[in-house]
């Protein structure tokens, strides 16, 4: 199968006026317009400085093919996805997610609200590379309008997908760090409507991300962690730049790994006989919880759109990734930071116990993540690994997953850089390190 060249794992990314040019943006707008042949296309952006510039470039490109453009505002990527789904129209998101502020990007959304798949990306790239644009006659050129109803539509769906009354009555107090990103209005507002007395941090839209780095990792959340250590809050919440992800800090100020919050939400959401979808890179903590609950775990290739598609195909309600991106089908089939937040509040309200206490029921695993430069073709590397480690159990869902006595290692080539990623997991930190070192050394010596 041909793989997309411009579209990476999460859309097209680059630095404005360098690798992400206005010409490219306009061309991609034309290509998306030509591909979808839709009378209307929705568009939204995150808070980045170059947001308006790319929004107008991409919108102009799409309008030149005869599609009307509906701008729905600065809002999270899942907010646009929800609008697309409700209106059955495709969409374009201008965002570079958690990347540093100098970046921006373009992501295309299908009319069912899911991110377009790889096959569609290849088709759109082909239109762009070969200039197969279908431009409209002068009297058929698209128009531009603004619709401010998308934000409320999105927030209402989240609030009505959880037990909002139970949450409102539970007297939770929430600290939220939106990191100057696209959720600056929506997530604090959802918390207010759920009566969670939010204290907001970095809730001013600032395209330079002046307050903190956009990736919600512990080292970037020191302010939120300090606030949580005062002991005045039930839970701390943080999003990345476009708020398709959500991470948590417990009431004592401890960062909760995405794997553990996913396992916890699954534990309190699924029933016997249900299924859960996650990529092969996810922790065994999740598979243990699924076994305990009598639920089936479906493992896919890495990538949120792949997980979402598998959920739709198998009629599954919950799935997600270890980086804090949970997909909840009752709301919509895409990673959604605010939905993840609401699911966690729902379970805190129902269980009426502190987060740190609830997490004690989630098995603890250690994961070591490294990467090495890729010096040969992936197929060749794969063959060498299977030869060298013959006798071990392999899984080829995505890259190679090698099972050892006390854990596993996943080796896979990056889609965007010339590197090979090595993830090792075990119940013991030392063992995870040992496995990781063994495969890392082998790959380095190839």
- Which residues form the catalytic set? 97
Residues 49-78 within binding reach of Mg ion (CB under 5 A):
none
* Interactions with Mg ion, residue window 214-243 (CB under 5 A): 240, 242
12 secondary structure, DSSP code: E
Q: Which residue is nearest to Mg ion (CB)?
A: 97
With contact defined as beta carbons under 8 Å apart, do 46 and 92 qualify?
Answer: no
Taking the least distance from each CB to Mg ion, the nearer of 240 and 346 is: 240
Residue closer to Mg ion, measured from CB, 68 or 242: 242
Q: Applying CB under 5 A, does 97 fall inside the site for Mg ion?
A: yes
Residue partners of 345: CB distance under 8 A and separation at least 6:
162, 167, 172, 174, 194, 196, 235
Q: What is the nearest approach in angstroms of Mg ion to the Cβ of residue 244? A: 4
Q: What's the Cα-to-Cα distance from 113 to each of 24, 211, 297, rounded to whole Å?
A: 24, 31, 24
Contact predicate 80/42, CB 8 Å: yes
Size of the site for Mg ion (CB under 5 A): 4
Give Cβ neighbours of residue 323 (< 8 Å, ≥ 6 apart): 245, 258
CB of 96 to Mg ion, least distance (A): 9
What order do you get walking across the sheet with 407-413 strand by strand?
A: 366-373, 419-426, 407-413, 400-404, 393-395
DSSP 392-417: SEEE-SSSEEEEETTEEEEEEE-SSS
Q: How far is the CB of 302 from Mg ion (least distance, A)?
A: 15
Euclidean distance between CA atoms 226 and 216, whole angstroms: 15
Shortest Cβ distance from residue 238 to Mg ion (Å)? 12
Segment interacting with Mg ion (CB under 5 A) among 89-97, 187-195, 285-293, 427-435: 89-97
- Tokens representing 406 are 């006390």
| 398 lies in the site for Mg ion, by CB under 5 A | no
Stretch near Mg ion under the rule CB under 5 A, chosen from 97-105, 113-121, 272-280, 365-373: 97-105
Among 177, 189, 244, 425, contact with Mg ion (rule: CB under 5 A): 244
How far is it, in rounded angstroms, from Cα 197 to Cα 13? 36
Minimum Å distance from CB 281 to Mg ion? 17
336 binds Mg ion (CB under 5 A): no
Residue 87 touches Mg ion, criterion: CB under 5 A = no
Q: Which residues bind Mg ion (CB under 5 A)?
A: 97, 240, 242, 244
């Amino acid at each position: 199968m041909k793989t997309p060249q411009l579209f990476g794992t999460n859309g097209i990314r680059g630095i404005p006026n360098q690798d992400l040019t206005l010409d490219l943006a306009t061309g991609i707008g034309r290509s998306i317009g030509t591909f979808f042949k839709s009378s209307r296309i929705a568009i939204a952006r995150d808070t980045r400085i170059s947001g308006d510039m790319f929004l107008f470039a991409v919108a102009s490109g799409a309008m030149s093919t005869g599609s009307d453009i509906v701008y729905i505002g600065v809002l999270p990527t899942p907010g646009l996805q929800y609008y697309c789904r409700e209106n059955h129209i495709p969409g374009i998101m201008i965002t570079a997610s958690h990347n540093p502020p100098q970046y921006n990007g373009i992501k295309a959304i299908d009319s069912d609200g899911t991110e377009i798949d790889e096959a569609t990306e290849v088709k759109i790239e082909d239109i762009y590379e070969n200039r197969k644009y279908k431009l409209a006659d002068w009297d058929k050129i698209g128009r531009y309008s603004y619709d401010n109803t998308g934000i409320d539509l999105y927030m209402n769906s989240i609030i009505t997908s959880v037990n909002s009354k139970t949450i409102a009555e539970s007297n939770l107090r929430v600290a939220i760090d939106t990191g100057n990103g696209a959720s600056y209005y929506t997530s604090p507002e959802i918390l207010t409507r759920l009566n969670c007395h939010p204290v907001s941090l970095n809730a001013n839209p600032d395209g330079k991300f002046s307050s903190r780095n956009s990736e919600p990792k512990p080292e970037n959340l020191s302010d939120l962690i300090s606030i949580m250590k005062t002991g005045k809050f039930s839970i701390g919440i943080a999003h990345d730049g476009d708020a398709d992800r959500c991470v948590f800090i417990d009431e004592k100020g401890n960062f909760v790994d995405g794997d553990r919050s996913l396992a916890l939400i699954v534990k309190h959401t699924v029933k016997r006989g249900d299924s859960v979808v996650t990529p092969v890179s996810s922790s065994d903590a999740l598979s243990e919880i699924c076994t305990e609950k009598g639920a089936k775990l479906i493992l896919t290739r890495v990538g949120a759109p792949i997980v979402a598609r598998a959920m739709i195909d198998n009629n599954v309600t919950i799935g997600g990734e270890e980086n804090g991106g949970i997909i909840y089908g009752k709301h919509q089939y895409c990673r959604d930071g605010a939905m993840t937040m609401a699911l966690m509040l729902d379970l805190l309200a129902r269980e009426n116990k502190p987060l740190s206490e609830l997490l004690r029921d989630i098995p603890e695993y250690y994961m070591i993540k490294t990467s090495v430069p890729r010096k040969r073709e992936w197929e060749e590397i794969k063959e060498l690994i299977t030869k060298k480690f013959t006798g071990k159990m392999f899984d080829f869902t995505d890259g190679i997953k090698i099972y050892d006595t006390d854990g596993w290692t996943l080796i896979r080539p990056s889609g965007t850089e010339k590197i090979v990623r090595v993830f090792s997991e075990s119940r013991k930190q030392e063992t995870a390190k040992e496995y990781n070192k063994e495969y890392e050394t082998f790959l380095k010596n190839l």
